[in-house]
Amino acid sequence: MQLKYASRMEHMSGNAIRDIFKLLSNPDIISFAGGNPAASALRDEYVAQLADQVLKKDGKRILQYGATEGYPPLFESIAQFVRTAGIQVNPSQVLPVTGSTQAMDLFCKVMIDPGDVILVEEPTFLGAMHVMKLFQADIKTIKMDADGTIPEDLEEKIKKYHPKFVYIIPTFQNPTGRTLPVERRKKIAQIAAKYETLILEDDPYRDLRYEGEALPAIRSFDESGYVIYLSSFSKTISPGLRVGAILAPAELHRKLVICKQGSDLHTPTLNQAIVDAYLRGGLLFDHMKEALASYGAQMNKMLDMLSIFPEGVKCVRPQGGLFIWLDLPEHIDAGKLLPTAAQNGVAYVAGTHFYAGGGHANTMRLNFSNAPLDKIEKGMNILAQTLKNA
């Protein structure tokens, strides 16, 4: 059996993180890979209660076909929810999606022809690049510093490449943990308007802040309509429910709906109704307090443990999110070192996967949310030793 696949499949391999998951079936390995919420942050009893409640109240509607545009009560609750990011949006511009990965898929489907340029931060979330590659986009990069994307470089690259859109993770960026200061956010919104260039602002980590003050979204400074906002409940309520949202002006919203009709018809209504009830219950931020305290302690523990790492390991301290990012001495190749590290009992994601052009072998991403303090201590000890021997 020999099949001729579509040309988009030619250079596609599996998403590195997804495939690492499968390799990590050994429960003895301390995993700093992945970006999973802690099991303790998943409110299974509360979700069970909400599932029961919404099915008893609205079961016939929930189990029937729904509109592609989504479950109407959820438009309202999401429009309300994003006010915490400074965003005022008409509920009719809120499109619930099956996780924000789907939003990226739909957005690329609407916008991207093979060879079209997308600008991304360097480094950026590999899952987003996986989608872009499936649409055969030409991925170009914007320079970052310790404060994230550099607006001047963004402007220059827009002039140079005329991208179809720009992908930015403004808060506790994946993988670097960096956060754009408010002045840069304003500047980026102005650049979007000035160059009539779409910015896709992906903001799943914003509520995972352990220090400092929350910042308004780039979208909150946008009056042009060119800033499109992605929200997700995967880090705050549950990734397994697969509910996110994309906020887009009417014409673009309609195009996204036409593509979603051909993707999954609609996001499962039960999941939308559970998230709606969760938000309306008003307990989200209450429920998160415990997780935030715990994640904050885990982040600090991981950062503290860097003191025993070999000289030349660098890290910009994040104020939240799920990840810390390490620059290692030049001679270390984190990808090549991974099998040894795993054999020693610790796993991470090699940083090279987050670079559109590969390279940067001496970087790695560490997740701290999914390992308790004692495991972080133990895992970081192992990792420090592994790096010293490298």
64-83 residues near a second copy, rule: CB under 8 A: 64-68
Q: Could you give the maximum distance between any two Cα atoms of the chain, in Å?
A: 62
3-class DSSP state for residue 45?
Answer: helix
Which position among 77, 238, 344, 352 is part of the footprint of a second copy (CB under 8 A)?
Answer: 238
Residue 262 within binding range of a second copy, rule CB under 8 A: yes
Q: Please, what is the minimum distance in Å from the beta carbon of residue 118 to a second copy?
A: 12
Binding residues for a second copy restricted to 106-145, rule: CB under 8 A: 109-113, 116, 127, 130-131, 134
Residue 271 within binding range of a second copy, rule CB under 8 A: yes
Cα separation, 265 vs 241, whole angstroms: 17
Q: Please, what is the minimum distance in Å from the beta carbon of residue 381 to a second copy?
A: 26
Nearer to a second copy, 3 or 146 (CB): 3
Cα separation, 8 vs 381, whole angstroms: 42
CB atoms within 10 A of CB 358: 10
Q: Please, what is the minimum distance in Å from the beta carbon of residue 177 to a second copy?
A: 19
Q: Which amino acid is at 284?
A: L
Q: Please, what is the minimum distance in Å from the beta carbon of residue 46 to a second copy?
A: 10
Binding residues for a second copy restricted to 87-106, rule: CB under 8 A: 98-99, 101-102, 104-105
In the block, residue with structure tokens 């715990």:
294
Which position among 73, 86, 91, 225 is part of the footprint of a second copy (CB under 8 A)?
Answer: 225
Draw the binding track, 241-260, toward a second copy (x: CB under 8 A; -: no contact): xx------x-xx-xx-xxx-
Cα separation, 188 vs 184, whole angstroms: 6
Decide: 356 and 120 in contact? Cβ < 8 Å: yes
Q: Please, what is the minimum distance in Å from the beta carbon of residue 136 to a second copy?
A: 10
Segment lying near a second copy (by CB under 8 A), choices 231-239, 301-309, 334-342, 344-352: 231-239
Residue 186 within binding range of a second copy, rule CB under 8 A: no
Q: Please, what is the minimum distance in Å from the beta carbon of residue 256 to a second copy?
A: 10
Cα separation, 320 vs 172, whole angstroms: 6
Q: Which amino acid is at 60?
A: K
Q: Please, what is the minimum distance in Å from the beta carbon of residue 121 to a second copy?
A: 19
Q: Which amino acid is at 87?
A: I
Which position among 178, 187, 266, 360 is part of the footprint of a second copy (CB under 8 A)?
Answer: 266
Which position among 33, 62, 87, 349 is part of the footprint of a second copy (CB under 8 A)?
Answer: 62
Binding residues for a second copy restricted to 31-60, rule: CB under 8 A: 34, 36-37, 39, 42-45, 47-48, 51-52, 55-56, 59-60
Q: Where are the beta strands (DSSP E) in the chain?
A: 30-31, 94-97, 117-121, 138-142, 144-145, 148-149, 165-168, 198-202, 227-232, 244-247, 323-327, 346-347, 349-350, 363-367
Label residue 2 exposed, middle or buried (CB < 10 Å: 0-12, 13-18, 19+).
Answer: exposed
3-class DSSP state for residue 386?
Answer: helix
Q: Please, what is the minimum distance in Å from the beta carbon of residue 272 to a second copy?
A: 9
Q: Please, what is the minimum distance in Å from the beta carbon of residue 8 to a second copy?
A: 7
Decide: 108 and 135 in contact? Cβ < 8 Å: yes
Cα separation, 301 vs 204, whole angstroms: 23
Residue 307 within binding range of a second copy, rule CB under 8 A: no
Cα separation, 300 vs 265, whole angstroms: 43
Binding residues for a second copy restricted to 163-182, rule: CB under 8 A: 164
Cα separation, 144 vs 123, whole angstroms: 8
Segment lying near a second copy (by CB under 8 A), choices 146-154, 201-209, 262-270, 323-331: 262-270
Nearer to a second copy, 224 or 294 (CB): 224
Binding residues for a second copy restricted to 190-219, rule: CB under 8 A: 196, 198
Binding residues for a second copy restricted to 1-30, rule: CB under 8 A: 1-9, 12-15, 18, 21-22
Strand order in the sheet with 349-350: 323-327, 363-367, 349-350
Cα separation, 27 vs 357, whole angstroms: 33
Q: Please, what is the minimum distance in Å from the beta carbon of residue 6 to a second copy?
A: 5
DSSP per position, 147-182: TEE-HHHHHHHHHHH--SEEEE--SS-TTT-----H
